[in-house]
A and B are shown apart, each in its own frame.
Chain A
């Protein structure tokens, strides 16, 4: 999923301070799962903003609404009946959602409430960790199912570097050495020889080096 974290309240207060009425829009997808921008977080933030602004003598009306998905135009249309009654929108979705709301409602200022972080998985309750950088040409078949691009601090495709110690990365004891994980897994699968194959220099175009990326499915595209 795409993970995110709420921005400091101080920053959000400054975004909304000039406005009388805002619409705070959550998203029921990834940011709900990572407890950053779902219905509950929308409620928490609306209360927090109102209470914080009140102390500097400002009252603000905040309408709360959480969409099924903020990255699809069909769902964003749902905001139409509410949009005229507000001066600005604050989105609690990832950066995709913020941009889609801004694209649909061109005359309303749209502010992000979250910092979008990474594509990750839930390691355990309350802990999310990066797993994929969307490089566009998956290497996992060669690396035992563990991604060196997302999980090696130096993005080494033929690691490990000389800083791998007892399974940990040189940058922090809290970071696993991706190449230790890869090696352990290749060994467990009896695929040690795979390690000796040099992974050649990567073509970064599918990773975004070729400009903004787009997928077009001709059979589906309208």
Chain B
């Protein structure tokens, strides 16, 4: 064990891990965070707390993570390189660990153009792979980037993201290999709808033996409606939603579509369970946290292991 992270304990125990996410509110609404977290209590092993997701200003992921921690939940603190330079990032990592946060996800972040502050500078002092390297050096060598010793190094369990569906496809596994080489302990993937393509990706992952070096949590998302399915298919860069799934969502009446979306999500998890090298699932139910319990339950992943 590298850390005290609950997620690491679950993964090391050999159980399929389950994570989900919670987007912090756009204002000083701590109860909002507590409420969202409450839906996930006993349902998942860690809760991703997004960092200014889609480049919109929100309550900081650090503060929201602490709110969840105070509730006895396990936050998975996300950090993007878009908004801070390496001084600020290292300071926040130390701060987060001092407040009991021991699991984090290293990302580059959505471009500011997508959010409501397109006029803001994109910092990108580091990229996500360099951030992973930095967090690992802080943990394992107890060193800041500048070379000085850290008094009381942060022992973070380090996550990274992978998108098997973006282009160029042949680089997708190589980029994962770079993240693993940089020091990622676990990976959360982009939402998987095209399981066939994901299987091809995993085949290459296994060929390189990467599934033995890093825990891969397969990302899934329940679709709320045929409109949402179409939006993800057509408008979200790097998202691959096959047409037959869109058609299937459209084939049921509007009021039944949320139910159909959840059923598709559970079927996807069932298919993914059979793929060698999958260590768990990351369920991204955006503003639909109350449904995560049902998904985890129906996918046969409850109760969560006590480790």
Chain A residues packing against B (C-beta within 8 Å): 153-167, 170-171, 177, 179-180, 183-184, 195-196, 198-202, 204
Contact = CB atoms under 8 A, between A and B. Distances in A.
B237 A198 contact: no
Contact of A157 (B127, B134, B177): B127
A158 B129 contact: yes
B127 A156 contact: yes
Contact of B238 (A154, A155, A170): A170
B283 to A, nearest CB: 18
A160 B82 CA distance: 15
Interface string B282-306: 0000000000000000000000000
Nearest to A159: B127
A179 B163 CA distance: 15
B108 A171 contact: no
A195 B181 CA distance: 13
Interface residues of B, number: 37
Interface stretch (B97-105, B166-174, B224-232): B166-174
A201 B168 contact: no
Contacts of A204: 125
B206 interface: no
Nearest to A197: B178
A200 B113 CA distance: 26
Interface in B236-290: 237-238
A161 B124 CA distance: 13
A157 B130 contact: yes
13 contacts: A154-B124, A155-B122, A155-B124, A157-B127, A159-B127, A162-B161, A164-B168, A165-B238, A180-B168, A183-B168, A198-B133, A200-B133, A202-B125
Contacts, number: 102
Given A153-B113, A154-B111, A201-B86, 5 more contacts: A154-B108, A162-B190, A163-B110, A165-B166, A195-B171
Contacts of B175: 158-160
Nearest to B80: A154
B195 interface: no
Contact of A196 (B86, B166, B177): B177
Contact of B134 (A165, A184, A201, A202): A201
Given A158-B178, A198-B129, A198-B181, A163 B238 contact: yes
Nearest to A172: B113
A147 to B, nearest CB: 14
Contacts of A159: 127, 175
A164 B238 contact: yes
Contacts of A201: 86, 125-126, 130, 133-134, 145
B189 to A, nearest CB: 10
Contacts of A160: 166-168, 171, 175
A167 B145 CA distance: 33
B183 to A, nearest CB: 10
A204 B126 CA distance: 10
A164 B127 contact: no
Given A154-B127, A155-B127, A170-B238, A162 B166 contact: yes
A184 B171 CA distance: 10
B174 A170 contact: no
Interface in B96-155: 108-111, 113-114, 122, 124-130, 133-134, 145
A156 B108 CA distance: 8
B167 A158 contact: no
B166 A163 contact: yes
Contacts of B114: 170-171
B237 A163 contact: yes
A202 B175 CA distance: 19
B145 A153 contact: no
Nearest to A195: B174
A167 B169 CA distance: 11
B127 A158 contact: yes
A160 B174 CA distance: 11
Contacts of A195: 171, 174, 178
Nearest to B162: A162
A153 B238 contact: no
B180 to A, nearest CB: 11
Contacts of A196: 174, 177-178, 181
Interface in B15-40: none
Interface string B76-98: 00000010001000000000000
A213 to B, nearest CB: 18
